[in-house]
Amino acid sequence: MKAKQKVDIISAIFLTLIAVVLLILPQFKILTMRYIIVSVYIMYAIINLIRFLITIKSKDYEGLHYTLASIVAIIINLVIDLSSPRYLSLGLFCWISLVSLSKLKKIDYYHDKRDRMWKFAIADLLIFLITGILACMNLFYSTSVQILIIGFFFLINGILEIFDPIMKSLIAHS
């Protein structure tokens, strides 16, 4: 396994751990949505920026794109009123849209290089979009349920991020 793939797996594990912590928060009655969602985006931005800086020589800008998407989401979520589920859904959907564009760019990169990884990347994008849209549609419950829904969405995203370097390694060795 290449060093870049190891860095990608480690960063994906950290992103998955953030989702697990997010799932635990309602048990401790931590229900302030603005602080929670902005904190998650800040963690995503930091982890992906570190991932980008470590793997900058591989010319993979996905970490930078995720960082920029998270910064835009932070700004959006600081400006809008998150007490309304409609605006919370809108903020999450904006982040999902920006990250989807990054994933689509990576699919195009794989396809241009005639890498078989593009098929997995399409499945990854579709699962990401379906779970993201389902998460956005189901944010009209109490705050604790909203946190759980967002936590499960980020957990699925973290797991998808773990599969990406593993599949890249498996396809490269076959």
Work out the burial of residue 94: count CB atoms within 10 Å of its CB; fewer than 13 is exposed, 13-18 middle, 19 or more buried. Answer: middle
Which pLDDT tens digit goes with each residue over 94-115? 999 999 999 999 999 888 888 8
- The structural domain count of the chain equals 1
Distances (CA, A) of 135 to 41, 69, 79, 144, 161: 16, 18, 21, 14, 18
pLDDT at 30: 87
Which pLDDT tens digit goes with each residue over 9-36? 999 999 999 999 999 999 999 888 899 9
Query: Which residue pairs from 67-73 have beta carbons closer than 8 angstroms and sit at least 24 positions apart in sequence?
Result: 68/98, 69/95, 69/98, 69/99, 69/102, 70/41, 70/42, 70/44, 70/45, 70/95, 71/41, 71/45, 72/98, 73/41, 73/98
Q: Which domain holds residue 83?
A: 3-173
Measure the CA–CA gap between 90 and 72, rounded to whole angstroms. Answer: 13
Measure the CA–CA gap between 94 and 49, rounded to whole angstroms. Answer: 19
pLDDT at 171: 80
Using 70 as the pLDDT threshold, list the residues of the chain that sit under it.
none
Measure the CA–CA gap between 76 and 63, rounded to whole angstroms. Answer: 20
pLDDT at 88: 92
pLDDT at 71: 97
pLDDT at 110: 86
